């Protein structure tokens, strides 16, 4: 099988494979497969100039893929907002008040995206917030979410 692949896999196969991975990654929107596609294209370019066997090409692709995935986790991954061990919420998460919130008492908010694994939360505020008001997260302390009215920048 390896002999067959050594004879039939050419440089342009790697480039087509890399482009297919890039297209797949764009349709998924995760940018994780991006490194695998770029690594395959680099292997195709290397194979253009240096005629190597399929096993060497595959080894180069695996090494480059591991390096790009490591780089993704090191430099491009979204940094956590808090070190408290809580879920990685974002302060720009928006929601809508479904029960009025009085100062220093609880109301209820439904968020557009899950916060700590749930979309509907009891929330507090330092000011009065009426029902159907758009709000953003100010702070999360354990199971208590503090919100404030959202103003467009």
Give the tens place of pLDDT for each residue, 74-87.
Answer: 887 666 555 544 55
Q: Whole-angstrom Cα distance, residue 60 to residue 50?
A: 13
**pLDDT band at residue 90 under the 50/70/90 scheme:** low
pLDDT tens per residue, range 109-135: 998 887 777 888 889 999 999 999 999
8 A C-beta contact, residue 31 and residue 73: no
As given in the structure block, the two tokens for residue 73 are 């986790």
The model scores a pTM over 0.85: no
In this structure, whether the domain defined by 94-149 belongs to CATH 3.90.1150.10 is answered with no
DSSP classification of residue 76:
I
CA dihedral 70, 75, 78, 82 (to 10 degrees): 100
CATH 2.40.50.140 domain residues, the chain: 94-149
Percent over 70 (pLDDT), the chain: 90
């Amino acid at each position: 099988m390896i002999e067959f692949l050594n004879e039939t896999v050419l440089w342009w196969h790697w480039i087509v494979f890399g482009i297919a991975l890039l297209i797949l990654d764009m349709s998924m929107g995760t940018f994780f497969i991006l490194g695998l596609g770029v690594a395959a294209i680099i292997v195709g370019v290397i194979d253009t100039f240096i005629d190597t066997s399929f096993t060497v090409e595959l080894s180069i692709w695996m090494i480059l893929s591991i390096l790009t995935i490591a780089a993704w986790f090191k430099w491009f991954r979204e940094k956590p907002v808090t070190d408290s061990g809580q879920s990685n919420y974002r302060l720009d998460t928006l929601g809508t008040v479904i029960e009025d919130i009085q100062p220093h008492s609880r109301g209820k908010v439904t968020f557009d995206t899950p916060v700590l694994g749930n979309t509907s939360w009891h929330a507090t505020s330092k000011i009065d917030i009426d029902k159907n008001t758009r709000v953003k997260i100010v702070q999360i302390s354990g199971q208590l979410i503090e919100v404030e009215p959202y103003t467009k920048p």
